């Protein structure tokens, strides 16, 4: 159990986190919110890269500040394609990270072999990181985060900029490794956590404005997501009145997916998705 109690953090007049409290247990948690919502600040406080102005973090009932190195040993962190050394081979990079984590040679040797197999990079262990594709770099960063068998994993945009095949590979990998770990993911690719997240936390201006399972949160939008079949001359009016999630076209018509508290004339009700939820919660435009 990882418990955050009344975490506050300010940068001058900007209140990045406001009275943030939450309990995390085994499973995947998705942090959703626009830029400036507080996601990065939260992750940096958990990983001890930043100090909170107020509040405490408890792991298994113990204050992490008092635990010190003992907490860092149960923590794994994956940044956004940062910290990679382009001239290092993957093998050298993982050995270097293992040394920083204080692992013995025996532990490091065994885990590096296992992790390279897990992330499907065994055949490129002697290749320089600078020659890796985006997906390979992401998998390398996941591997280093898992060195030392951490119980808490913090992943910052693990699928950003990847092609669909790599996104699916990494999404499935995260789901697999979360069976016995707390995994906290910050992402803007909401579709990637819709099916693997145990709970979603929706952050806005440093506060949790909603939380729960994807299914429960999407259920709150039942009867608010619609598809409108229209023509080009009416499209502008629809986009002016409603939150628009998607626009598609066939030979005869235009189809507009909208989110609205009221039923648009002639609209067909649709099943809500996490993407609809994100648009409904974070769209700042006023629609009538």
* 216-219 long-range contacts, CB within 8 A, separation 24+: 217/274, 217/277, 218/272, 218/273, 218/274, 218/276, 218/277, 219/272
pLDDT-wise least confident of 112-121, 161-170, 177-186, 242-251: 161-170
What six digits make up the tokens of 50? 């930043």
Q: Which residues contact 108 (CB under 8 A, 6 or more apart)?
A: 94, 95, 98, 99, 147
Does the pLDDT value for residue 112 go beyond 90? Answer: yes
What six digits make up the tokens of 28? 């995947």
- Which residue in this structure is represented by tokens 């262990």? 125
What six digits make up the tokens of 241? 């009145």
Strands 62-63 and 54-59: antiparallel
Give the residue extent of every domain in the chain: 2-218, 221-282
Tell me the pLDDT tens digit for each residue of 174-191: 888 888 899 999 988 888
Three-state SS string over the chain comes to CEEEEEEEEEECCEEEEEEEEEEECCEEEEEECCCCCCHHHHHHHHCCCCCCCEEEEEECCEEHHHHCHHHHCCEEEECCCCCCCCCCEHHHHHHHHHHHCCCCHHHHHHHHHHHHHHCCCHHHCCCEHHHCCHHHHHHHHHHHHHCCCCCEEEEECCCCCCCHHHHHHHHHHHHHHHHHCEEEEECCCHHHCCCCCCEEEEEECCEEEEEECHHHHHHCCCCCEEEEEECHHHHHHHHHHCEEEEEEECCCCEEEEEECCCCCCCCEECCCCHHHHHHHHHCCCCCC
Does the pLDDT value for residue 51 go beyond 60? Answer: yes
Does the pLDDT value for residue 160 go beyond 80? Answer: no
Question: What CATH fold (topology level) applies to the domain 2-218?
Answer: Rossmann fold (3.40.50)
Confidence of residue 284 (pLDDT cuts 50, 70, 90): low
Beta bridge partners of 76: 153
Tell me the pLDDT tens digit for each residue of 208-234: 999 999 999 999 999 999 999 999 999
Tell me the pLDDT tens digit for each residue of 90-102: 999 999 999 999 8
As a whole-number percent, the residues of the chain with pLDDT over 70 amount to: 97
- Among residues 217, 229, 284, 232, the alpha carbon closest in space to that of 257 is found at 229
pTM given for the model: 0.89
């Amino acid at each position: 159990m990882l418990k955050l109690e009344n975490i506050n953090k300010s940068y001058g007049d900007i209140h990045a986190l406001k009275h943030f409290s939450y309990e995390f247990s085994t499973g995947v948690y998705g942090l959703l919110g626009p830029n400036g919502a507080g996601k990065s600040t939260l992750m940096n406080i958990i990983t001890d890269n930043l100090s909170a102005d107020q509040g405490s973090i408890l792991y298994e009932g113990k204050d992490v500040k008092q635990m010190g190195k003992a907490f860092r040993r149960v923590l794994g962190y994956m940044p956004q394609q940062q910290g990679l050394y382009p001239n290092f081979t993957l093998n050298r990079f993982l050995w270097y990270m293992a040394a920083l984590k204080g692992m013995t040679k025996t532990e490091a040797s065994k885990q590096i072999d296992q992790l390279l197999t897990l992330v499907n990079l065994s055949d490129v262990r002697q290749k320089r990181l600078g020659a890796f594709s985006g997906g390979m770099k992401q998998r390398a960063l996941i591997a280093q985060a898992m060195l030392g068998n951490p119980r808490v994993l913090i992943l910052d945009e693990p699928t950003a900029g990847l092609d669909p095949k790599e996104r699916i590979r990494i999404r499935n990998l995260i789901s697999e490794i979360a069976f016995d770990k707390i995994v906290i993911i910050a992402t803007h690719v909401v579709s990637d956590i819709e099916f693997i997240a145990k709970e979603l936390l929706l952050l806005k201006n440093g506060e949790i404005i909603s939380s729960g399972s994807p299914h429960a949160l999407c259920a709150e939008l039942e009867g608010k997501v619609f598809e409108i079949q229209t023509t080009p001359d009416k499209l502008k009016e629809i986009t002016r009145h409603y939150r628009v999630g998607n626009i598609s076209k066939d030979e005869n018509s235009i189809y507009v997916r909208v989110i609205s508290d009221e039923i648009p004339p002639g609209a067909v009700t649709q099943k809500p998705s996490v993407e609809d939820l994100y648009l409904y919660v974070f769209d700042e435009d006023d629609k009538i």
